[in-house]
Each structure stands twice: as structure tokens, then as C-alpha cells.
Amino acid sequence: MRIPNRKILPLLVLLPLLAVSVLSAGGDDPATNQRNRVREREPRLLGRRLGDLSFGVNPRLGVGVPSQRMDSYSVFPQCGMGVARISVHWKDCEPEQGVFTWDGLDFKVWALQNQGLDICMTLITDAEWGVEPSEFPAANHPPADMADWTAFMGALVERYDGDGVDDVESLLRPVQSYQVASEWPSPQNLGGGWTGTIDQLIDFFNATYDAVKAADSTAAVILGGIASISLDAMVLNAGMADYTARLSYSETVQDSLTLEMAQDPRVAEAVADKERVLAESRYDMVDLHLYGPVEYNQYRIARIRQSVGAVPLVSTEGGGPNLAYEPDFTPDDHFLTALDWNLDGLSRGMIFMMWLSMFGQDYVPGEGPTWGNSRLQLIDMYRNPTGGFWAYHLLAALMDDAVSVEKAGPGAYIIHRYHRPDIHIAWRTAESSVYQLPPAVQPRYMMEITDALYGYYRIVSPPAGGLLTLNTLPVVVSEDLPGLGFGSSGAEEPLAGAVGLTGVGNRPNPFNPATEIRFALSRDSRVRVDVFDLRGRRVDLLLDADLQAGVHGVRWDAAGQPSGTYVYRVTAGGSVRTGRCLLAK
């Protein structure tokens, strides 16, 4: 659809995105809703469902600004999401100086952790009693007395650091990351921004960093998200690329930025402010908000790398398609964008990627997402899954035991896994309609995605010679296909000789210092259980023995290992299953 009566505003690169706040509609499970809708479809769609793939929650996939309806949080692990970003308002947790009200935040933390998700807290400095007054509407204000703010931060981090001192009783594992001043320095940003000066902002970042580290030296402090239009200003001002960046606040109001416009002195001044904050502030990670065409992200990431070097990068919100660039898009477009956005970011070294919210709602100017971001959610306003919802099921299976992601070309990626064959995924693009598998890859089967809206795929044989003719939707090829509930082939039945290996998991999780890894065998088999760290190094061999059919368990005592996430692998007669466990000392 065309944007009517569009008004192109003056340069607004100094004013990042409007507030983002999404409410859940509540109601039935979206996957159940989709199954009901599928019954109305033609029989040709009946077959394998992406919703039946096997995977765990993944700390590299996440959701930014989740629904306020905590009864909907069970949807996140359905998509393999292992991390969520939540907003923490100073005014809610400390409504009066020294008077803390934690109940609402405690319950939200418990509800997300109970679903297996880690938490990134975005702090908002909005306690009226504790901040400098301002005529600007941005959510973040300079503290009137920095000591009040750092005392609050110390109390907050101490409550959720899991060290056994002043922790909330319901805490299941430590909160590991804290973000401040999202989408600085805009004084107009209703959901973030900053109403003070750049000097005040740098002082604020540094005081917050010190307060967090004093309470928990292992927690990560994330420099609040840089808006996509601000990233574009940095790219274009430096002449790194030549494209037109767009931002649709509403159906009729759009901001744009070109290479020529980015040379304006006002843009140069805004970029200089960004550079100064990045150079003079203390932080552990930098957050990039990545919206719009995925191909822009390579320049945005590279530009920030020029400023921060090897500092880890994350994206606590982003996604697409964006209506500023694509006013009309299909379920296939949504499916491919969700895949491409995540895999591209991870291939460029991003630590984790968070999709902007989960649930769609009616667009209301000034409330919720901007117009441009109002249709990227994974579940629509009627509680029906979109193409992106099913893409996340495939993503979670692809990333379930991944070591790294390599971009092989436009629309093509290789996922390298822990001691298992690589996965190749590719789809047709304007640049390429074929994909050549390496000669050493000799798969018996491959997955062909057949329907993005309803989440279907089929298992087929790859062509001789490994030259794949690509379709609009992806093909997934490996000698050990991801997410399937048997063997390694993906055939309708397990290969001859393969062992049914099910029920793989560990309890407790998180644990300290020991956990039990359990699994079930369909028949007698030789079984091996290994444990690896996140760099792929084996840290323990727990079992290598012949076992009878049935349910088994093996205990891992990790007293000699440092806190962190570990991957265990159970191998039995041609079947391989992996899982993750968190050692929290």
C-alpha cells in the first residue's frame, strides 16, 4: 500500500525512534490456532510441521520488549528464544526515596526464568523525586543526585545477582545483563532517549557501570541501544555506503536520510556526539537496534566496529520487514527476513539477536511501535502465527548446538556445530538461483520448506552432484538434519541400525555443583555422553558404555568447572542429541 500524503520531515537523525511498547492480546495458544486454520487448507499442505522440530531455548535468540501479559510467556520457548529484554522503571521500583516495591518485577523475572529465558534489564530513569525536571518528553532524565541512582542500581543488582545475599527467593538464576539509556540521546523518545547533556550522559553511563560492577562483577553492562537511523547517519556520514535510510513514524510522517544529506553539519555533530559517548563511557557490550533491510546491517555493524573495536555487540530489538521500505510483504518475505536477520547478525559476531516483541496490535500513533515496525511481530493481532513465527522454529533447530554461523553468500549460510556435520541453508535471491554443496558433503536427505504461513516442510533427496536449484523458501541440507526426532537422516523412519534416543534433558537446571543428564533408549546400544564448553572444548566424558533399552541417567559433578553454560552430547548407535545446562555457582 502507498503511504498517503507523506510528509518528509527535516533531518531527524538527532531524534531516534519513538517509544516501543507492545501489549499481548492474551488468549489461546497461537500454534493451536494455526492448526485449526490449517484444517481449512487443501490436503497438499498435510505433512511435516516446523512446529514439531526438536530444540531447546537458545541464548542467542531472543525477544525485545515482550508482552506485559505474563500468561503469554510460554510462547517464547516455543520459538527457541532464550533471552528477553524487559523494561525496569525507577519510578515503579522506588516510588519514594528509599522505599522499594519489587513485587511486580520479581514476578516478571520469575515468569520468564521459569520458561528457561535469561533476562536483560533495560533501566529507565524516570522517578520524579530523583531526576532533574525537563520540558522534553523522553523517558530517561539525569538523576538529580547520582548517589540516589547508584544506590538504587546497587539494590537492584544485589536482588538479582544470585550470590545468596539479599536475593529474591524466587530467583532461578542470576540476571546477567543491564542496559541503560536506550536510544540516546534523543530528548523526544517516549520510550528511551535522554533529556540531559552529553556530559551528563557520559557521567551517567560511567556511574551506572561502577554501581553494577560493585554489586556483581560478573554482570554485563550494555550501552543503551543505538537507533537504526542513528547507525545509518554514522555509516552515511563516513561514506561507507550509499543508500537511503527511512523511518516511518506514522502512515503519513516519514523521515529519510541519504548520503548527501548525511554530510550536513548537524548530522556530523550528531555523529561526533555518538563517537564521544562510545569513546568516553565504560561498558561491556554495545546494543544496535537493527531495523530495515538486512543488507544495511553489514555497514552498521562495521561502522560501530570502527569505534569500539572488539567490544561485543548485541541487538536487543530489531527485525522486519519494515513498512518504510516494504509497504506490502508476504508470509514468505516475513519468514525469510526472520531467518536472514538473525543468521546475518550472528555471522557478523553479534552475541545475541532479539526480535521486537511477539504480539501484534492495532497501530495507534504515539503508542506501541512506529508505523514502520507495526507489522513485524511474530503473532498477529488475531493471535495467528505469521511467517516469522515458523521461521523461529527452524532457526532454533538450526542453532540448537551451533558453534558459529558463516555467511556463504546472499541467502546462503553454513552453521558449524559441536562435533556434528555442518548445516547448509539457502534460498533463491536476485544474485543466485543455485547453491553448490561442497564435495565432501554427501547427505541422503534434505529439508525443503514448502509453506511459510502454516509452517510446513518436506523431506526429499538432494540432486546428484550436490548442485541445488533454489526456490523462494529455503532448503536445509546436512548429513545430520537439525531438529528431527530420530536418527540423522530425516527419513520417514529411522535408518536401519539407528537407535531411538528420546527424553534427553537434565535436572536440575541451573545447577550447583551437580546435575543428572537423562535419556531413553529404544533398544540396547553403546552410549557416550560428553560435555563441552561454549568454545567446543570437551571438559568431561561422563559415560562410554553398553546400556540396555530404557530410561537412564548419568550424574555430572561440575565442582571443578567455572560458572557458565555447557553443552552435553548423548550419542547412541547413530543417533545424537544435545542439550544445554547452566552451572551457577
Q: What confidence tier does 575 reach under pLDDT thresholds 50, 70, 90?
A: confident
User: Does residue 423 have a pLDDT over 90?
Assistant: yes
Q: In 3-state terms, what secondary structure has residue 34? A: helix
Regarding beta strands 402-409 and 412-417, do their DSSP bridges make them parallel or antiparallel, or are they unpaired? Answer: antiparallel
Same domain, 144 and 215: yes
Spatial CA neighbour of 211 closest among 223, 200, 219: 219
Same domain, 420 and 396: no
Bridge partners of 124, per DSSP, are 89
Same domain, 150 and 209: yes
Distance (Å, rounded) from C-alpha 319 to C-alpha 339? 10
Same domain, 453 and 576: no
Residue finishing a domain among 338, 371, 400: 400
Q: Does 111 fall in a domain? A: yes
Q: Which pLDDT score is estimated for 53? A: 86
Average pLDDT over residues 16-28: 32
Same domain, 331 and 214: yes
All 3 cell numbers of residue 420?
Answer: 556434528
User: Does residue 2 have a pLDDT over 70?
Assistant: no
Distance (Å, rounded) from C-alpha 549 to C-alpha 442? 31
User: Does residue 349 have a pLDDT over 90?
Assistant: yes
User: Does residue 405 have a pLDDT over 80?
Assistant: yes
Bridge partners of 95, per DSSP, are none
Judged by average pLDDT, the poorest of 4-13, 126-135, 414-423, 523-532 is 4-13
Q: Which pLDDT score is estimated for 506? A: 84
> Alpha-carbon Rg of the chain, whole angstroms?
24
C-beta of residue 384 within 8 angstroms of C-beta of residue 345 = no
Same domain, 523 and 472: no
Same domain, 125 and 94: yes
Tell me the per-residue pLDDT of 43-88, one tens digit each, with 9 for 90 and over: 344 468 898 887 878 889 999 987 667 778 888 988 989 999 999 9
Average pLDDT over residues 224-243: 96
User: Does residue 339 have a pLDDT over 90?
Assistant: yes
Tell me the per-residue pLDDT of 140-150, one tens digit each, with 9 for 90 and over: 999 999 999 99
Q: Does 242 fall in a domain? A: no
Same domain, 396 and 417: no
Q: What confidence tier does 24 reach under pLDDT thresholds 50, 70, 90?
A: very low
Judged by average pLDDT, the poorest of 125-134, 456-465, 546-555, 559-568 is 559-568
The domain that contains 353 carries what CATH number?
3.20.20.80
Same domain, 186 and 70: yes
Q: Does 384 fall in a domain? A: yes
Distance (Å, rounded) from C-alpha 137 to C-alpha 180? 17
Residue finishing a domain among 355, 378, 400: 400
Domain total of the chain: 3
Q: DSSP labels for 70-121?
A: GGGTTHHHHTTEEEEEEEEEHHHH-SBTTB---HHHHHHHHHHHTTT-EEEE
Average pLDDT over residues 548-552: 89
C-beta of residue 363 within 8 angstroms of C-beta of residue 374 = yes
Q: Which pLDDT score is estimated for 275? A: 97
Q: Does 33 fall in a domain? A: no
Same domain, 421 and 385: no
Average pLDDT over residues 471-490: 76
Q: Does 206 fall in a domain? A: yes
Q: Does 274 fall in a domain? A: no
Cell 508470509, located at residue? 331
Q: Which pLDDT score is estimated for 502? A: 76
Same domain, 107 and 213: yes
User: Does residue 6 have a pLDDT over 80?
Assistant: no
Percent pLDDT > 90 in the chain is: 62
Q: Does 240 fall in a domain? A: no
Distance (Å, rounded) from C-alpha 159 to C-alpha 486? 43
Same domain, 69 and 180: yes
Q: How many CB atoms lie within 10 A of CB 463?
A: 11
Q: What confidence tier does 536 reach under pLDDT thresholds 50, 70, 90?
A: low
Q: What confidence tier does 34 reach under pLDDT thresholds 50, 70, 90?
A: low
C-beta of residue 289 within 8 angstroms of C-beta of residue 184 = no
Q: What is the pTM of this model?
A: 0.80
User: Does residue 312 have a pLDDT over 80?
Assistant: yes
Q: What confidence tier does 5 reach under pLDDT thresholds 50, 70, 90?
A: very low
Structural domain including 513 reads 501-583
The domain that contains 542 carries what CATH number?
2.60.40.1930
Distance (Å, rounded) from C-alpha 57 to C-alpha 23? 23
Q: Does 495 fall in a domain? A: no
Q: Which pLDDT score is estimated for 31? A: 54
Q: Which pLDDT score is estimated for 498? A: 52
Q: Which pLDDT score is estimated for 391? A: 97
Tell me the per-residue pLDDT of 167-216, one tens digit each, with 9 for 90 and over: 999 998 899 899 999 999 889 888 889 999 999 999 999 999 999 999 99
Q: Which pLDDT score is estimated for 455? A: 94
Q: Which pLDDT score is estimated for 92? A: 97
Residue finishing a domain among 400, 428, 454: 400
Judged by average pLDDT, the poorest of 324-333, 401-410, 488-497, 542-551 is 488-497
The residues, any chain, with a CB within 8 Å of residue 275's CB and separated by 6 or more, are: 307
